[in-house]
Structure 1
Amino acid sequence: MGQDHEKQQVIIEGHSITLTHLSKILWKEKKISKAHYLQYLTSIAPYVLPFFKNRALTLIRYPHGVPGESFFQKSIPDYAPEIVRFKGHIHCDQLASLIWLGNQSTIEFHIPFQYIGEANPCEIVFDLDPPSKEDFSVAVLAAKTIKEILDRLHLTGFVKTSGSRGIQIHIPLIKRTFTYHDTRLFTTFVAKLLLEMHPNQFTTERLKHKRNNKLYLDIVQHGKNKTIIAPYSMRANEQGLVAAPLDWKEVNSSLRLETFTHEVVIQRLHTNGDPFQSYFNVENEQAFRSVLEQLNKNKAAPI
């Protein structure tokens, strides 16, 4: 796959895939070619595919690379092979489908919070997006504060960079027994706590011009059919950064988004393993039910 040919036929898991324009530069500033990108996708496939399984993907494609024109894609193109088709959705559960999508210059992979055909979420995600890259330290503060709250509630969360300018926290709900109404009650509660603890740093104000340069706690974003960038997806910024899973001890004042290029992420996997390795073995259900019971008992008012 690393050969710099314009067209190459490969067999992946028994599927014949035609790779094209392998010398094309997809990230112009970093000079990352499509061949290098497909190598990256091959390396991270074991870690990202579990998050794609049974989820309807939303893709962002950059046919001419980054920066350049782009478009969202949720529907299946007529020319797509069967390996990316599932119940009318774009689906990716094996290396062959991941490489085919990568060959189509899919740069970003976004996943919904529920599985195909299900109404309840399989996870809660807090998206901590500071007003600018220069205010990244506020996202670190928010993440550390949420971690303290989760620890007190005996809930396990997993943290990653957004690959853009913020931090995201995933809380698995593997048994999918809670509704979006339940999770909204919880995210509202957490947001309210953060506002009480750090009123000068955070806001739930939806209008940008009224946020006064505070970090927006977007409790509305977590909802049915809304999406979040997948772990290990690269981003369509000129630096070619990655939505990189972290160890919680890395969430401190020295954390820098620009650290997490695709080369660094691969090296981290080889050296330290996957920080999200235990994600699908975590059962938060009992602890989350206890939290909900207390919130309902207290009739916690939404923000």
Structure 2
Amino acid sequence: MAGSSKKDGQLKIKGNTIQITSLDKILYPKMDINKQAYLQYLIEINRLMLPFLKNRCLTVKRYPHGMFDDFFYQKNCPDYAPSFVETIQHDDIRYILCNDLSTLVWMGNQLALEFHIPFNKVTSVCPTEIVFDLDPPSREHFSLAVKAAIQIKTILDRLELHSFVKTSGNKGLQIYIPLDENQFTYDDTRVFTKFIADYLVDQSPDSFTIERMKNKRGAKCYIDFLQHAEGKTIIAPYSLRGNEDALVATPIEWEEVDQQLTPDMFTMDAVLERIENQDCPFSRMDSVRKKQPFGRILTGLLNQKK
């Protein structure tokens, strides 16, 4: 990679030296992916992944022995972090800001396999997007997430809202509606997300649910609108997940969302091949933020409540 070199367990990236260890450690046995392959993935994907991590309080899920063993969530920046790692204090937590490749690779070496981010940047308390998390009970029920996504897209198109979709990297789909920054609060967006979720359940009660308790959902797809809230997080675009297939939370085109779509199409290797042949669908998000008629829609929903 231009601007970097590896020698004797060290990787130099733009003047920063990163200690690299245990490159032959197997992280995903089923897929035969070791630590070296994972770090190479982060290096190759960084130009697409970093814009979504930048200036957001980061929570990572670390797997010290690979995905087949114990894991833990980490919010606080450890004391041993190198000086180039940016942090920000929020309440009693010193969060990492993953704003550059050096930090991304260092965290990869710490075996952070999952990167979870909030819906707002550190510069604002307002979300930069609305996200619906469509969570079926298993991968075998993935078609329910597809059904929900298509129905939501139909509604959003009628409302003239631009939307984007990605796989969760596990068993569901996630729909993004970018917003003009610093314009709408989480209370504002909750009015909208609850309306859409209630409408879907009302239209297809046998397929969808907003029941929070998993043991009460049955075989229905959970339309998670409550996760979109201050302090909550979602898996970052292009982050791997801690499942045996090394699946990636992957932005896709709406045209790909059909009954032929399956989560296992988006392994780490498949995503690397994918980005060589097409642009990131999420790259168009910023160009539509100011065009969204969300204010008008919100006003209409609030007037209905009066």
| TM-score with structure 2 setting the length | 0.93
Encode CA deviations 1:182-214: one digit per residue, 9 max, x unaligned: 000000111122122212101112222322321
CA distance in 2, matches of 1:293, 1:226: 25
Cα deviation for residue 95 of structure 1 reads 0.7
Pairing partner for 2:103 from 84, 97, 108: 97
Cα deviation for residue 32 of structure 1 reads 0.4
CA distance in 2, matches of 1:182, 1:97: 34
Partner of 2:263: 257
CA distance in 1, matches of 2:205, 2:125: 34
Cα deviation for residue 82 of structure 1 reads 2.6
Tell me whether 1:71 sits opposite 2:72 in the alignment.
Answer: yes
CA distance in 1, matches of 2:7, 2:16: 20
Secondary structure of the equivalent of 2:140? helix
Encode CA deviations 1:197-241: one digit per residue, 9 max, x unaligned: 212101112222322321111221111010000000000000100
Pairing partner for 1:119 from 116, 121, 125: 125
Q: Is the 1:59–1:106 contact (alpha carbons within 8 Å) kept by the matching residues of 2? A: yes
Secondary structure of the equivalent of 1:147? helix
CA distance in 2, matches of 1:205, 1:151: 26
Q: Is the 1:76–1:85 contact (alpha carbons within 8 Å) kept by the matching residues of 2? A: no
Tell me whether 1:271 sits opposite 2:277 in the alignment.
Answer: yes
Cα deviation for residue 6 of structure 1 reads 10
Cα pair distance change 1:233/1:257, threshold 3 Å? same
* Structure 2 runs not aligned, ≥5 long: 90-94
Partner of 1:222: 228
1:94 partner letter:
D
Partner of 1:23: 24
Partner of 1:82: 83
Cα deviation for residue 131 of structure 1 reads 1.2
CA distance in 2, matches of 1:252, 1:101: 35
Cα deviation for residue 176 of structure 1 reads 2.5
Secondary structure of the equivalent of 2:187? helix
What stretches of structure 1 move > 3 A for 4+ residues in a row? none
Cα pair distance change 1:206/1:10, threshold 3 Å? closer
Deviates more, 1:165-174 or 1:209-218: 209-218
The 5 Å alignment of 1:55-70 reads: 55-70=56-71
CA distance in 2, matches of 1:50, 1:99: 15
Q: Is the 1:155–1:284 contact (alpha carbons within 8 Å) kept by the matching residues of 2? A: no
- Aligned alpha-carbon RMSD (Å): 1.6
Cα deviation for residue 123 of structure 1 reads 1.1
Q: Is the 1:6–1:20 contact (alpha carbons within 8 Å) kept by the matching residues of 2? A: no
1:42 partner letter:
I
Encode CA deviations 1:24-43: one digit per residue, 9 max, x unaligned: 11111111011100110011
Deviates more, 1:271-280 or 1:102-111: 271-280
CA distance in 1, matches of 2:149, 2:116: 21
Secondary structure of the equivalent of 2:134? strand
Partner of 1:184: 190
Q: Is the 1:7–1:22 contact (alpha carbons within 8 Å) kept by the matching residues of 2? A: no
CA distance in 1, matches of 2:272, 2:216: 40
Deviates more, 1:120-129 or 1:86-95: 86-95
The number of residues matched between the two structures is 297
1:137 partner letter:
S
Cα deviation for residue 284 of structure 1 reads 5.1
CA distance in 2, matches of 1:282, 1:204: 29
Secondary structure of the equivalent of 1:265? helix
1:105 partner letter:
L
Cα deviation for residue 254 of structure 1 reads 0.2
Encode CA deviations 1:250-270: one digit per residue, 9 max, x unaligned: 000100111111111111111
CA distance in 2, matches of 1:67, 1:7: 28
Encode CA deviations 1:74-122: one digit per residue, 9 max, x unaligned: 0010000133232231111111110000011110000001111522111
Q: Is the 2:160–2:292 contact (alpha carbons within 8 Å) kept by the matching residues of 1? A: no
Secondary structure of the equivalent of 1:82? coil
Partner of 2:33: 32
1:215 partner letter:
C
2:142 partner letter:
F
CA distance in 2, matches of 1:43, 1:58: 22
Q: Is the 1:201–1:215 contact (alpha carbons within 8 Å) kept by the matching residues of 2? A: yes
Q: Is the 1:158–1:169 contact (alpha carbons within 8 Å) kept by the matching residues of 2? A: yes
Tell me whether 1:240 sits opposite 2:246 in the alignment.
Answer: yes
CA distance in 2, matches of 1:265, 1:212: 32
* Structure 1 runs not aligned, ≥5 long: none
Tell me whether 1:292 sits opposite 2:298 in the alignment.
Answer: yes
CA distance in 1, matches of 2:33, 2:150: 33
Cα deviation for residue 277 of structure 1 reads 1.3
